Amino acid sequence: MYFCKGKQKRRYGKMLELNLPQAELNIKEENGKAYVFDRLRKQFVRLTPEEYVRQSFVSYLITYKNYPQSRMANEIGIELGNVKKRCDTVLYDEYLHPLMIIEFKAPSILIKQNAFDQITRYNMRLNVPWLIVSNGVRHYCCRVDYEKKEYFFLKDIPEYEKLKKVTH
């Protein structure tokens, strides 16, 4: 997968290939810096490798897994004690209760234990049944079963219809 297509591809070059379908991203340049349109926040944001993964992954969830765009939000602030943090993306159910936390890393960043520790800390606040960590190359989807006090990893990211059937 390329960073962008056509004229933009020639201008910005190629990033690491992602393990996602090609996403149509709206990219612009301003004062020598690249920006990408965030379809959830409805504004242009600075294009970084991590943001490229986020925009590509969100596009994948909406286009291929039928996640409703209206129930997703980026950069959701939470408080952990006295510390303010931000979840990269949160998916909500039809009652606007958090259903999934998604944490993104740049494609060049290997996903290690610290990424899972980070999303687990966020989940101590939101208590969602679904967690995803992705660097665009590797994706880890985890289901948390609060009744059995266990979690397990899935081989694939579930379709939205299957996902919403599993609640807290």
Those residues whose C-beta lies under 8 Å from the C-beta of residue 79, and which sit 6 or more positions away, are: 85, 125
* Res 14: pLDDT: 52
User: Residue 167 has what pLDDT?
Assistant: 63
Smallest Cα–Cα separation from 132: which of 107, 168, 161, 158?
158
Return the closest-CA partner of residue 88 out of 107, 106, 102, 71. 102
Pairing of strands 33-38, 139-145: unpaired
Domains of the chain, residue spans: 6-64, 69-163
Report the candidate in 13, 17, 45, 20 with the shortest Cα–Cα distance to residue 30.
45
Alpha helices in the chain (DSSP H): 6-12, 49-64, 113-126, 160-163
Q: Give the CA count within 13 Å in the CB-facing half-sphere of 84.
A: 3
Residue 31: count of CB within 10 angstroms of its CB: 5
What pLDDT is stored for residue 6 in this prediction?
A: 47
- What pLDDT score was predicted for residue 1? 35
Q: Considering only CA atoms, which of 57, 59, 60, 55 is closest in space to residue 34? A: 55
**How far is CA 37 from each of CA 8, 46, 159, rounded to the nearest angstrom?**
14, 9, 25
Distance CA 98, CA 113 (A): 23
pLDDT (tens place) for every residue of the chain, 168 residues total: 334 444 454 454 455 579 899 888 999 999 999 999 999 999 999 999 999 999 999 999 999 999 999 999 998 887 878 888 888 999 999 899 999 999 999 999 899 998 888 898 888 888 999 999 999 999 999 998 888 888 899 999 999 988 877 664
Tokens of 117: 């520790």
Domain 69-163, classified CATH 3.90.1570.30, yes or no: yes
